[in-house]
Amino acid sequence: MKVFKNKLTVTIVVLSVSFLILIAYSFKRNSASFVENGVGTTLNTVEGFFYKINDNIKDFLGFVVNFSSVKSENATLKEKNSELRKKALLYDSLKKENDDLKKQLNFETDKSEFKYVGCEILHKSGGNILKSYVISRGSKDGIAKGMAVLNADGLIGIVTSVNASYSTVETICNESTAVAASINRTGDNSGVLKGYVDSDNENLAQLTMLPLDADIKKGDIILTSGVGGYYPKNIMIGKVIDVEPNASKGEKQAIVKPAVDFDKLERVSVVVPKNNRGEIKYDN
């Protein structure tokens, strides 16, 4: 490549010098012959052609020299971009966890008449409908059968069996679970909430045993009534999304969408009565 460049440079210099000699000679004669004009034009064209080739060669050589550097820089930028994406995902995860803990703390402060034991969910069962799950605390942590389970969003279910280090919880979406409920807008506490499965297998509940003339409508908030002492009073359950009469049973029924998002459930709290003796009851 160097030999080629040297020959090219010599050729350009020789042609340039020849061209300058012709110009000087023509200037002395005050005129140029047809042949000289032709030679001058030819040399000028050839000289420009070779200068253009030389510039292109320089540009190409510059690209070749810088290519590896650009490639290395691009790889470094990709790596940094990947690290930033990982940090952003970690930040979002930590922020969500922090927000959930703050929300839970505020809830537990408002409901300070009970003790709360925080638990992780170890296992879920029931397919698309979350029927039950296993939590990371048991009898050695003060957990007992019959205790209510919730988070800052609302009621989740009830403890149905206990081991030393883990427990099983049935959710309010389980058909076998029954919760005494009330309508927040009217204060009517005559309904009983049970798990309900719709055609889309969504986590829902059904409020039954309501009188046909019960004042209930879509959008109403449903809370625990505290009747029977099995659940603390005024715990959020969910919102009514549909109301329909059941003439054969002489009652009105309402479909309730739980306030808790069971698909994203990770941590829960077990509600422990402060004066826990024998059968679990919540003084309301």
List the beta bridge partners of residue 159: 169
- State CA 112 to chain mean position distance: 32
What count of residues does the chain have? 284
* pTM tops 0.85, yes or no: no
Query: For the chain, which residues score pLDDT lower than 50?
Result: 1-5, 26-27, 29-44, 46-47, 49-51, 93
Topology given in CATH for the domain delimited by 115-273: Thrombin, subunit H (2.40.10)
Helix-helix angle 2-29:34-110, to 10 degrees = 130
Angle at the Cα of 82 from the Cα atoms of 76 and 88, rounded to 5 degrees: 135
Predicted local confidence at residue 121, as pLDDT: 92
CA distances from 69 to 51, 76, 77, 255 (A): 28, 11, 12, 65
Predicted local confidence at residue 75, as pLDDT: 74
235 contacts 110 by C-beta, under 8 angstroms: no
CA distance 35 to 23: 13
Angle at the Cα of 100 from the Cα atoms of 86 and 144, rounded to 5 degrees: 125
105-125 residue pLDDT tens: 555 555 567 788 999 999 887
Q: Which residues contact 245 (CB under 8 A, 6 or more apart)?
A: 212, 251, 252, 253
131-172 residue pLDDT tens: 789 999 999 999 999 999 999 899 999 999 999 999 999 999
Structure tokens at 94: 């930590």
Predicted local confidence at residue 31, as pLDDT: 46
CA distance 149 to 159: 7
